[in-house]
Amino acid sequence: MLEIKDIHTYYGMSHILFGLSLTVAQGEVVSLLGRNGVGKTTTLKSVMGIVPPKSGEITFRGQTITKIPTNRMVKLGISYVPDSRRIFADLTVRENLEIAAGIRPGDWTIAKVHTLFPVLKKYENRRGGSLSGGEQQMLSIGRALLGNPDLLILDEPTEGLAPLIVRELEEQILELCSTGISILLAEQNLKSALKLANRCYVLERGQVRFEGTVEALAENEEVRTKYLLA
C-alpha cells in the first residue's frame, strides 16, 4: 500500500535520512523503532510532504506522492497524528473534531469517534487546551480518523503518558487495527511496539538497520541492545 524507496531527506543543510526504504501492506501495522533523533519523525514527515525528500520516491497505492502537498494527503487516504498532538487549544473538543470531518467520505463520524473515545463526548464543550495529555492524544487520533484514512500514521502516540493511560490507548489502537486499517507507527517504547505491530523497522542514523516481524525482533537480542538499549 505504502512504499518508500531510497529516500534522502534534509532539514535545511543537515542530511537526516540516508536512502531509507520501507513498505506497509494493506491491513498491516508497521512500527518504526529507534532512539531519539534517528529519523523516525522525519520519515513520517517525508511521507506527509511536510519535509519532502530531496531524492527517492514514495508511492501510495501505486501513485507517486513524493511531491504532493500535505493538504491533499487526507483526500488520498492518509491521516497523520503528529507527536506533539497539536490540538487547537482555543477550539472546543467538538470544534476540533468538526473541522476535520467531511473532507473524505467514509464510515467515521463524530458519533463513532465518541464510541471509541467516550471521554471526547463527555468533555466536548471544553477547550482543547484544557484536556490532559492522554485525552489530547485521543482527540488527535479521533480527529485523524474523521479523515477516514486507509493508512493512519501515528508518531509516538504513547509518549509521555502515564502507564495506565498508555494501556488504555494501546487497547484503543488494537481495536482500530481490527477494523482493517493500515497503521504506520513510530515508537520508542519497545513493549508498545511489540504489542501493537506485525512488523517493525529499526532505524539508526537515518537508515534501516533491522527489518522483520516483531517475533524476530523479540528474539534478536543483538539488535535490541545495539539500537534500542532494551
Binding site for another protein (CB under 8 A): 48, 50, 69-75, 79-80, 82, 86, 88-91, 95-96, 98-100, 103-104, 143-144, 147
State how far the Cα of 49 lies from the Cα of 65, in Å rounded to an integer: 8
**Min. distance of Cβ 92 from another protein in angstroms?**
9
| Beta carbons within 8 Å of 53's beta carbon, 6+ residues apart | 7, 8, 9, 17, 46, 66
Cα separation, 28 vs 10, whole angstroms: 28
The CB-of-75 to another protein minimum distance in angstroms stands at 6
Q: Which residue number, 95 or 211, has a Cβ lying nearer to another protein?
A: 95
CA proximity to 222, closest of 197, 204, 195, 199: 204
Q: How far is the CB of 73 from another protein (least distance, A)?
A: 7
Complex with another protein: residue 103 or 194, whichever CB lies closer: 103
Measured from the CB of residue 82, what is the shortest distance to another protein in angstroms?
7
Q: Report the residue number, 147 or 199, with the smaller CB distance to another protein.
A: 147
Name the residue nearer to another protein (CB basis): 144 or 208: 144
Residue (of 6, 90, 81, 92) closest to 41 by Cα position: 81
Q: Are the CB atoms for 110 and 101 separated by under 8 Å?
A: yes
Q: Please, what is the minimum distance in Å from the beta carbon of residue 87 to another protein?
A: 9
Q: Name the β-bridge partners of 55.
A: 8
Q: Which is nearer to another protein, 136 or 189 (CB)?
A: 136
Number of H helices, E strands in the chain: 10, 10
